Amino acid sequence: MKRVLYGLVLVAASASAQEVQRVTVVGGSYFFKPNHVTVKVNVPVELTASREAGMTPHNLVIQAPDAGISVEMDLAAEAKKTVFTPAKVGKYPIYCSKKLPFMAGHRDKGMEGILEVTP
């Protein structure tokens, strides 16, 4: 399911017969697409992430150890996968932690989103 609401792209994860929620995120010039992902609590999430072509390095970070989520992956043109199981309902920031010296960080430039874990 995909909806656009006030400039946010909202996507609900798709689940297969094996009960794994599959999410695909693409990073680019200071954005994530989608920038709002909804998944269910206590169901494994397979996150596939990549970046658009370009020279600027990006990563994808979701840090919520109390919810069983600890993701930090460098983004490349070739998609990478990671799996985690969210253990707590809530909204958790997705962001790029890259920053050049003396410049605003990528998160400060708008490269962030939300992982929403629902019951």
What are the structure tokens assigned to 86, written together? 């969210």
| pTM score of the predicted model | 0.84
CB 64 within 8 A of CB 82: no
Q: Confirm whether 32 is domain-assigned.
A: yes
Q: Confirm whether 62 is domain-assigned.
A: yes
What is the reported pLDDT for 27? Answer: 97
What are the structure tokens assigned to 34, written together? 């989608």
Q: How do beta strands 69-75 and 36-40 pair?
A: unpaired
Q: CATH code at 66?
A: 2.60.40.420
What is the reported pLDDT for 12? Answer: 65
Q: Confirm whether 63 is domain-assigned.
A: yes
Q: Confirm whether 71 is domain-assigned.
A: yes
Q: Confirm whether 118 is domain-assigned.
A: no
Residues 6+ apart with CB under 8 A from 41: 86, 87, 88, 89, 117, 118, 119
CB 19 within 8 A of CB 44: yes
Range of the domain at 33: 2-110
Q: Confirm whether 75 is domain-assigned.
A: yes
Residue 20 to residues 74, 76, 106, 107, Cα–Cα distance (Å):
23, 24, 30, 29
Q: Confirm whether 30 is domain-assigned.
A: yes
Q: Confirm whether 101 is domain-assigned.
A: yes
Rounded to whole angstroms, how far apart are CA atoms 71 and 60? 7
Match 């689940």 to its residue by tokens. Answer: 15
Output the tens digit of pLDDT for each of the chain's 119 residues. 554 444 445 566 665 546 999 999 999 999 999 999 999 999 999 999 999 998 899 999 999 999 999 999 999 999 999 999 999 999 999 999 999 888 899 999 999 999 999 99
Report the domain count for the chain.
1
What is the reported pLDDT for 100? Answer: 86
